[in-house]
Amino acid sequence: MNTAKVLRKAVIPAAGLGTRFLPATKAMPKEMLPVVDKPAIQYVVEEAVKVGLTDILMVTGRSKRALEDHFDRVPSLESTLEAKGDTKKLAAIQEATNLGDIHYVRQGDPKGLGHAVLRARQHVGDEPFAVLLGDDLIDPRDELLSTMIEVQAKTGGSVIALIEVEPSQISAYGCADISEIDGENYVRVNKLVEKPDAGEAPSNLAVIGRYVLHPAVFDVLEETEPGRGDEIQLTDALQTLAAGDGEGYGVYGVVFRGRRYDTGDKLSYLKAVMTLAVDSEDLGADLRAWLPGFVGSLKD
Ligand code: UTP
């Protein structure tokens, strides 16, 4: 009998300051920025729920109340829409409230992604769990997380998601030194280097915001000293897990070849909106009709 527990917990860190998107994020979390007609965070929660992660813990902080409000019911709005007979909009607002069991914990001081993940320790307990960064969007038409969950179950370690980037871009990311594993759809991660200079990067494989972690990461995070930016870095804890051995050690990577957008970065955010909008049911046709003329006007 397979006694392995089904992975069902997801942690969504959304307590960062969002300085790259100021002033829009002065009083509003960047995770609430609309991507076509839904806040970015809703895509992330939907991605988790789609692969069966129905127990969600969101790590929030100052100015983040809008996040909790978004996933809560608004009875007065529901009855207004009901009275008007606007069933489409009613369904749209109810979609966000019916997504799963969402819990919240506050980070207090945003002392880094590793610190945010550590805030989930009590809720997660002693089982593997997924981490989805609240500002990192995987195109809903592409698949990543279910493969990562399978790889975690198979290896018993922790799993990170990697994308290939132009060598000149690698200095903006965490970078993985990897070894291929014969016949497998995942790689072994030997070492992680945070934001290396292009000439010193061990590969062009960049770490993106999806992780499936063994709970051994919590003990390591407790011992991890603040690193770059005086923050407790998740990458540093993963580096310890990659370098050591023992129960829950070992880090593996799944290389993602689909579409991914960093909605905390202005340009990448705009690309996400356009890419999803041209295929949206209600806006796609009109936007596609307008775009060629607009692009043509740029050449003049
Ligand atoms: P970022 O590296 O994008 O940092 O965090 P940031 O502070 O949010 O944004 P900028 O760079 O100032 O614009 C990646 C993810 O980790 C979360 C963020 O909310 C985001 O989802 N995070 C980061 C936390 O939850 N807590 C932290 O202390 C730092």
The pTM (predicted TM-score) of the whole model is 0.93
Residue 24 Cβ contacting ligand 1 at under 6 Å: no
Q: Given the structure tokens 């061990």, which residue do they identify?
A: 202
Q: Does residue 300 belong to any structural domain of this protein?
A: no
Residue 248 Cβ contacting ligand 1 at under 6 Å: no
pLDDT digits (tens, 9 = 90+) for 165-221: 999 999 999 999 999 999 999 999 999 988 888 889 999 999 999 999 999 999 999
Residue 15 Cβ contacting ligand 1 at under 6 Å: yes
Q: Which run of H or E residues covers position 191?
A: strand 187-194
Give the distance (Å) from ligand 1 centre to CA of residue 206: 17
Mean pLDDT (the chain) is: 92
Q: Domain span at residue 161?
A: 3-294
Residue 123 Cβ contacting ligand 1 at under 6 Å: no
* Residue 116 near residue 57 (C-beta atoms within 8 A): no
Residue 19 Cβ contacting ligand 1 at under 6 Å: yes
Number of Cβ within 10 Å of residue 181's Cβ equals: 12
Q: Which atom of ligand 1 is nearest to the CA of 22?
A: 13
What is the predicted pLDDT for the residue at 276? 94
Judged against a pLDDT cut of 50, whether residue 3 lies above it is answered with no
Hey, what are 33's tokens? 């920025």
Residue 107 Cβ contacting ligand 1 at under 6 Å: yes
Q: CA-CA distances (angstroms) from residue 208 to 211, 238, 247, 288?
A: 8, 13, 25, 30
Q: Does residue 103 belong to any structural domain of this protein?
A: yes
CATH number for position 185 = 3.90.550.10
pLDDT digits (tens, 9 = 90+) for 23-77: 998 888 999 999 999 999 999 999 999 999 989 999 998 777 899 899 888 888 8
Q: Does residue 56 belong to any structural domain of this protein?
A: yes
Q: Does residue 299 belong to any structural domain of this protein?
A: no
Nearest CA to ligand 1 atom 5: 16
Mean pLDDT value of segment 277-299? 94
For β-strands 205-213 and 136-138, DSSP reports them as: unpaired
Of all residues in the chain, what percent carry a pLDDT higher than 70? 98
Task: Domain count for the chain, please give it.
Answer: 1
Judged against a pLDDT cut of 50, whether residue 159 lies above it is answered with yes
Confidence of residue 5 (pLDDT cuts 50, 70, 90): low
Give the distance (Å) from ligand 1 centre to CA of residue 210: 14
Q: Does residue 231 belong to any structural domain of this protein?
A: yes
